[in-house]
A = this chain, B = another copy of it.
Amino acid sequence: MITERQITSILKKRGYKLTPQRKAILKVITQSYDHLTPYNIYERVHQESPDVGLVTVYRTLDLLTKLGLICEVHAEGNCHSYLVKRPSEQHHHHLLCSQCGTVVDFVDCGVEELQERLCQKTGFEIHDHLLEFVGCCRNCQKTTPS
């Protein structure tokens, strides 16, 4: 997980200002292990620092996306949730808990051979892929016995 401190230093290096609003937003998203919608983030930030507007959350998310520090999560019909990237991972995927929203990363996705096979079969040149698992984490299994 990238820390608040690391993001802070990246922002400074690139010449972006470190405003209290940005600090508050960074704090929330770096301290959460869930995927959060812009509005979720706004709510949490707003509780602590009521002087932060939703618009600023959107603009900060844009900025962090541009810098490649956060990534999107697609599952559960919710296409605009965000998550802080873990450090120095170029390529990783997510495993989400549909109850509590916890996200676990994994790196070794092993789709290379599948990709190769598809290229052969279809003639496509494959650039990218999207892979996510959805399930129920250990904690929520206890709370919600299926």
| Chain B min CB distance to A145 (Å) | 11
Copies of this chain in the oligomer: 2
Q: How large is the interface on A (under 10, 10 to 19, 20 to 34, 35 or more residues)?
A: 35 or more
Could you tell me if A106 and B135 are in contact, using CB atoms closer than 8 angstroms? no
Q: Which residue on chain B has the smallest CB distance to residue A139?
A: B123
Could you tell me if B136 and A124 are in contact, using CB atoms closer than 8 angstroms? yes
A21-29, A40-48, A126-134: which one contacts chain B?
Answer: A126-134
Interface residues of A in 61-102 (CB under 8 A from B): 74-75, 79-80, 95, 97-98
| Chain B min CB distance to A17 (Å) | 27
A6-14, A31-39, A52-60, A109-117: which one contacts chain B?
Answer: A109-117
Q: Which residue on chain B has the smallest CB distance to residue A75?
A: B130
Could you tell me if A110 and B104 are in contact, using CB atoms closer than 8 angstroms? no
Could you tell me if B122 and A137 are in contact, using CB atoms closer than 8 angstroms? yes
Q: Which residue on chain B has the smallest CB distance to residue A131?
A: B131
Task: Tell me whether A132 and B134 are in contact in the complex, defined as CB-CB below 8 angstroms, given that A95-B118, A118-B95 are known contacts.
Answer: no
Task: Tell me whether A136 and B127 are in contact in the complex, defined as CB-CB below 8 angstroms, given that A109-B114, A114-B110, A118-B106 are known contacts.
Answer: yes
- A98 / chain B contacts, CB cutoff of 8 Å: 127
Tell me if A125 is interfacial: C-beta within 8 Å of chain B. Answer: yes
Can you list 12 A-B contacts (CB < 8 A)? A79-B80, A106-B121, A123-B137, A123-B138, A124-B135, A125-B135, A125-B146, A126-B134, A127-B134, A128-B134, A129-B132, A130-B131
